[in-house]
A and B are shown apart, each in its own frame.
Chain A
Amino acid sequence: MKQKNSKWKILTNGIFKENPVLILLLGCCSVLAISVTVSGALGMGVAMTFVLVCSNVVISLLRKVIPDKIRIPCFIVVIATFVTLVQMVVQAFLPALYDALGIFLPLIVVNCIVLGRAEMFASKNGVLDSLLDGIGMGLGYTLVIVCIAVVRELIGSGTFYGIRIIPEGYQIGIITQTPGGFFMFGAAMALLIYCLGKKGRHFDPRIGCDGKCGNCGFNCENREDNIKLYENQAALEAAAAADEKEGSAV
């Protein structure tokens, strides 16, 4: 029973407690850009979930074979393979979705969620756990992107999944454009902070990866330390030397 319980926990972890988008703040680019229509958001969610599950499983299988020093390039190759696979399937069978997702479909490769989970979870855990983690994280991502898309599509285009709900001429078009994306994401974040505050939990979201999305898994666990690290010149030199070593290994 206890065993089953822990598996369930891994699955739901990604959906609520460690939601990749709202709590861990990973991969916001695609969330902001694709949450314009519900159909596009669903497609993106499915594509992301597929890549997450497959890459998590493969990386978990290979975790003892991949040398530690060149693990990031190895992860990227695995992830890029699955992204290319998805890209080809979507292009062949769902051309409308392919156009809607545009550049953000191949950009799943550099999405912090996939790389972050590979680094934080799949490279340290068994296959089944990684599979569940991938499903959970994928569902968490899909949930958030679809929720934001429902609101944005309703206010911005007056439709829900393409079905007109608000009569033409009463939409706020800017919500479907770039400013609306930023604003809606901010509003979702504020709502989350408000709800958590009601429950007595303090939550101060911060995009802490400083753009170091490649090493996101590592950096997100030690955000504060890393900010200090980058202000500290001596530590910085050491990091550069380590990176150079990694570079020559590549």
Chain B
Amino acid sequence: MTKVLMIAFMMVFTQNYVLVQFLAICPFLGVSQKFDSCIGMSGAVIFVMTLASAVTWLIYTYVMVPLGLDYLSTIIFILVIAALVQFVEIFLKKFIKPLYNALGVYLPLITTNCAVLAVTLLNISEKYNLLESCVDGFSAGVGFGLALILFCGVRKALERAKPPKSWAGLPITLVAAALTSMTFMGFTGIADKLFG
């Protein structure tokens, strides 16, 4: 149980995918302009990451390892994720309309979000079990959402600032991202103290 809590805490704060590990930078910088799209995107990422973690773990353990195909994990996982995202989209559209309306726009964008593939590959290399993998996927998604929503607020404040001409736009946004990620460095070491 402690291990599960520790994974959750680390994925959200100390090992945050966006602000510490440089994963999923594209959506982080691309979507963080509007608060609504931040919420939608985070929801979709949390959903897909949790599901993808569970599905890829099951496929890896019960299909790929017995057949000796574990060296093909990159190819198989990306195809599984692509198929899964399409399937989820169709399923939600047919059966759970409200959820589809909330997340549908963002689902096709997720297939090649590098954080999803990363979380499935890391679950395997860290040798997590099924529960730990699911928690890992879920909390990595939460961490992504947290970073996205925090940064959305930073960008709102940034709009009022007047940087030098050549720094305007993306460069100053990246500097703001640097400062935001610096705040997350404050969490370093807490996990060890908390969970011993």
Interface size counted on chain A using CB atoms at 8 A: 62
Return chain A residues, CB-CB under 8 Å to B182. 174, 179
Whether B178 contacts A110 by the Cβ 8 Å rule is no
In the bound complex, how far is the Cα of B33 from the Cα of A210, in angstroms? 10
* B102 interface hit (Cβ, 8 Å): no
Q: Is the CB of B181 within 8 A of A240?
A: no
- Mark B74-87 against chain A: 1 for CB-CB distance below 8 A, else 0: 11001100110011
**B108 interfacial contact with A, CB 8 Å:** yes
Residues of B bordering A, CB below 8 Å: 19-27, 29-31, 41, 71-72, 74-75, 78-79, 82-83, 86-87, 89-90, 93, 104-106, 108-114, 117-118, 121-122, 165-167, 169-175, 177-179, 181-182, 184-185
Closest to A80 in B: B75
Interface flag for A165 (CB, 8 Å)? no
B156 to chain A minimum Cβ distance, whole angstroms, is 17
Distance in angstroms from A116 CB to nearest chain B CB is: 10
Q: Determine the chain B residues whose CB is within 8 A of the CB of A94 once the complex forms.
A: none
A33 to chain B, nearest CB (A): 4
Task: Judge whether A193 is part of the interface by a CB distance below 8 angstroms.
Answer: yes
Assess A178 versus B22: contact at CB under 8 Å? Given A80-B74, A204-B169. Answer: yes
- Knowing A193-B171, A211-B27 are in contact, say whether A178-B75 is a contact too (CB < 8 A): no
Distance between B90 CB and nearest chain A CB, rounded to angstroms: 6
Q: In the bound complex, do residue A107 and residue B118 qualify as a contact, i.e. CB atoms below 8 Å apart?
A: yes
Chain A residues packing against B (C-beta within 8 Å): 25, 28-30, 32-33, 73, 76-77, 80-81, 83-84, 87-88, 103, 106-107, 109-112, 115, 174, 177-183, 185-187, 189-191, 193-194, 197, 204-215, 230, 236, 239-240, 243-244, 246-248, 250
Question: Are the C-beta atoms of B74 and A28 separated by less than 8 Å?
Answer: no
Main secondary structure of the interface of B (DSSP, over half): helix
Q: Of the candidates A25, A29, A112, which one forms a contact with B23 in the assembled complex, judged by CB atoms under 8 Å apart? A: A29
Q: Is the CB of A84 within 8 A of B121?
A: no
Inter-subunit contact B83/A76 (CB<8 Å): no
- Asked if A87 contacts B74 (CB within 8 A), the reply is yes
Partner of A28, one of B19, B25, B31, B184: B25
Bound: A209/B114 CA distance, A: 13
Q: Is the CB of B78 within 8 A of A179?
A: no
Q: Which residues of B contact A205 (CB under 8 A)?
A: 169-171
Q: Do B74 and A112 touch (CB < 8 A)?
A: no
Q: Which residues of A contact B118 (CB under 8 A)?
A: 103, 107
| 9 additional A-B residue pairs with CB within 8 Å, beyond A80-B78, A215-B108 | A80-B75, A106-B117, A178-B22, A182-B174, A185-B174, A186-B171, A189-B171, A193-B167, A205-B169
Give the docked Cα–Cα distance between A178 and B180 (Å): 10
Cβ–Cβ contact B108 & A190, under 8 A: no
CA distance A186 to B167 in the complex (A): 8
Considering only CB atoms, which chain B residue lies closest to A187 in the complex?
B171
Question: Which A residues touch B90, using CB under 8 A?
Answer: 244, 247-248
In the bound assembly, the distance between CA atoms of A28 and B29 in angstroms comes to: 10
